[in-house]
Amino acid sequence: MTNSPATPARLVVGIDLGTTNSLAAVRAGKGARVLRDQDGEPLIPSVVCFAPDGQTHVGRTAKALRLTHPDRTVFSIKRLIGRSAREIGEEKQRLPYTVVAGERDLPRVQIGDRNWTPEEISSLILQKVKATAEQALGQVVREAVVTVPAWFDDAQRQATKDAATLAGLDCLRILNEPTAAALAYGIDGTRDGTALVYDLGGGTFDVSILRIEDGVFRVLSTAGDTHLGGDDFDELLAQRILRTLPTTSDPYVLQAVRAAAESLKIRLSDAETAELQLDLGERSAGHLSTSLTVTRSEFEAAIAPLVQRTLDCVQRAVKDAGLRLDQISDIVLVGGSTRVPLVRARLQAMTGKVPHTGVDPDLAVALGAAIQADVLAGNDRSLLLLDVIPLSLGLETLGGAVQKLILRNSTIPTSVTEEFSTGVDNQTAVDLTIYQGERELSKDCRLLGHFKLRGIPPLPAGLPRIAVTFLVDADGVLRVTAREQRTGAQASIQIVPSFGLTREEVRRMMFESIENAQADYVAREQIDVRNKAEAMVRGTQKAMLLAELPPDQTYAVQKALKALAKLLVANANAETLKHGCDELTKVTATIADDVISSAVTKALREEER
Ligand code: AMP
């Protein structure tokens, strides 16, 4: 008898597709390990250079070419992915390469006479990550979990997924970066709590508050600054170095000073003082060299206002989550700049908690993604990990109200089905318009898309039964399907909104919904009462055609009916309309067991379906 070989574990890698650097990791034992290139380097700069000789370079070589080919070297593509050209207007100004508006107002990076989509450029980075992982593992990689910031909207998530597909990767899940970081620190959902994830990288700062409950990770709030990070610390030190040199705009000198500043900064994370000897050789301004010593306290004094800005964001995120600082159970550090001692000290002083520092902050997101990847691969069934959708999803109903089918913070994947009907007799098609947001009226929500369901049998209003299903898959992609139950006529749409939402907008939408709760309630009630009154008028009119009533009762019903119809024409307020409905109900209800009340009730019931 022979032992049957163990089933090889399914390989799914975790990928941190970063603004500055990207990397992959795989599950190893209880934790995970990063996958390094031949030089032992785990970080792949998220940079692509389309050299004039037609060669495409990705990663470290591309980064090195940035100085000689600034207009052909693409970095920070994550700032553009899944967004419209209109939205990235300001971002565009900061980039040395050319970004133009393409089809459907989507941005394109123009290199020579070729235009590249952000998805294509991201896919080149992912291909490099994939190849590095394959070399490290000695096997082909086909499946991955890719991380994105918690505030990425559906369009940005879908575009990231598309980039993975283009790179030949099946992206099993788009995972929130703070959730991944928490996982890397062993916060695996087995213990309930609230984690603050502080992510300070080279160019961006994000803070997220996570609630971990029954194995489910929910992002309670996010805050941050898309242009704040270690690069700003470097800039302050670079200015200090430049003050010791003759004034120059030589890009080589500026770049070398920048690199020297970063090295000084990194050394100051471990030492109280750092020395710099910089020899820039013969330049147009003559032989340039300098030497200086910087103390940690000097450096800290310079960066203190920037660190304070991050702390202000932390305060805001905690407040937005409806929490106090003392209710945070864990503080998780992500991003290379959290190695700066002042950052840790200030964060600790403010929160009164020692941040977790056991995991390399550059690698935490990829390591967590690898843990989640392994769970999805089915190799580890001890952990269930779910994410949530940030804003409610709903359908526009009569009068411009929005009926929410999937509520904000629902864990994904999720699916909800509700039944709707027509509002007009013999209607054979209905328009379905999908909105995102917390407000009651469609005009205050974000339009996601619309489609038409045709082939509805011509029936009186309220009789067709249309089942509408909202399904959000594990990647946050929404599919809406409408099906007429009698005929089976069906139509559906997959929402990939062409306009992304900025984090500020998500926050604004949440804030506005709270601010306007009272006014929205009143407006919504007005629409609901109006819909009800219209249905009553229609139902009673129909019933009157069938009913044979004594003249005095006919007169009473007609009078109440006319009064209500008049109120509708006059656009009366909810209170008055309600009163009109009550009056009509009174005269129809007094006719005990009469055809009218049963016909009206029936008609109403059908309208309400
Ligand atoms: P990330 O975007 O997470 O890769 O972070 C990159 C940033 O972390 C860059 O600004 C680096 O200069 C910075 N960084 C890396 N290591 C250190 C360190 N030991 N001390 C201070 N900053 C660091």
Q: Do 130 and 165 fall within a single domain?
A: yes
pLDDT at residue number 214: 63
Q: Which of 307, 398, 390, 292 is nearest to 345 (CA)?
A: 307
Which residue type is seen at 301? A
104 burial (CB, 10 Å; 0-12 / 13-18 / 19+) is exposed
- Find the range with the poorest average confidence among 79-93, 330-344, 531-545: 531-545
Strands 330-334 vs 193-200: parallel, antiparallel or unpaired: parallel
Q: Which of 314, 303, 313, 239 is nearest to 269 (CA)?
A: 303
Q: Do 208 and 356 fall within a single domain?
A: yes
Residue 406 inside a domain? The answer is: yes
What stretches of 117-191 adopt beta strand conformation (E)? 143-148, 170-176
Cα(119) to centroid of ligand 1, in Å? Answer: 26
Last residue of a domain, one of 387, 422, 456: 387
> Does the pLDDT value for residue 539 go beyond 60?
yes
Residue 474 structural domain: 389-500
Q: Do 377 and 407 fall within a single domain?
A: no
| Residue nearest atom 14 in ligand 1 by C-alpha distance | 336
Last residue of a domain, one of 387, 422, 440: 387
Long-range contacts from 580-589, C-beta under 8 angstroms, 24+ separation: 580/533, 581/529, 581/532, 581/533, 581/536, 584/536, 584/540, 584/557, 584/560, 585/536, 586/560, 587/553, 587/556, 587/557, 587/559, 587/560, 588/540, 588/543, 588/557, 588/560
Q: Do 85 and 223 fall within a single domain?
A: yes
Phi–psi pair at 40, nearest 5 degrees: 80, 10
| 41, 23 contact by CB (below 8 A) | no
Residue 195 inside a domain? The answer is: yes
If pLDDT is split at 50, 70 and 90, which confidence band does 127 have? Answer: very high
Q: Do 221 and 348 fall within a single domain?
A: yes
> Does the pLDDT value for residue 347 go beyond 90?
yes
Q: Do 60 and 31 fall within a single domain?
A: yes
Last residue of a domain, one of 328, 356, 387: 387
What stretches of 324-465 adopt beta strand conformation (E)? 330-334, 387-388, 393-397, 401-406, 411-412, 414-420, 430-436, 446-453
Whole-number percent of the chain with pLDDT over 90: 56
Residue 253 inside a domain? The answer is: no
pLDDT at residue number 217: 77
Residues 343-357 have a mean pLDDT of 96
Residue 238 inside a domain? The answer is: no
Query: Between helices 574-589 and 517-546, what is the axis angle to 10°?
Result: 30
| Residue nearest atom 2 in ligand 1 by C-alpha distance | 201
Residues with CB under 6 A from ligand 1: 18, 20-21, 201-202, 229-231, 262, 265-266, 269, 335-337, 339-340, 362
CATH number at residue 432: 2.60.34.10
Active site members: 16, 78, 177, 199
Most informative mutation of 75, 236, 265 for ligand 1 (most atoms within 8 A of CB): 265
Per residue in 187-231, pLDDT (tens digit) is 877 788 999 999 999 999 999 999 887 666 778 888 899 899 999
Q: Please tell me the total count of domains within the chain.
A: 3
> Does the pLDDT value for residue 92 go beyond 90?
no
Residue 264 inside a domain? The answer is: no
d(CA 535, CA 555): 20
For residue 518, the 8-state DSSP code is H
| 153, 497 contact by CB (below 8 A) | yes
**Which tokens hold the place of 239?**
């200015």
Residue 257 inside a domain? The answer is: no
Arithmetic mean of pLDDT over the chain: 88
Per residue in 267-288, pLDDT (tens digit) is 999 999 999 999 998 888 789 9
Count of C-beta atoms within a 10 Å radius of residue 424:
11
Most informative mutation of 43, 78, 231, 337 for ligand 1 (most atoms within 8 A of CB): 337
> Does the pLDDT value for residue 182 go beyond 90?
yes
d(CA 442, CA 316): 28
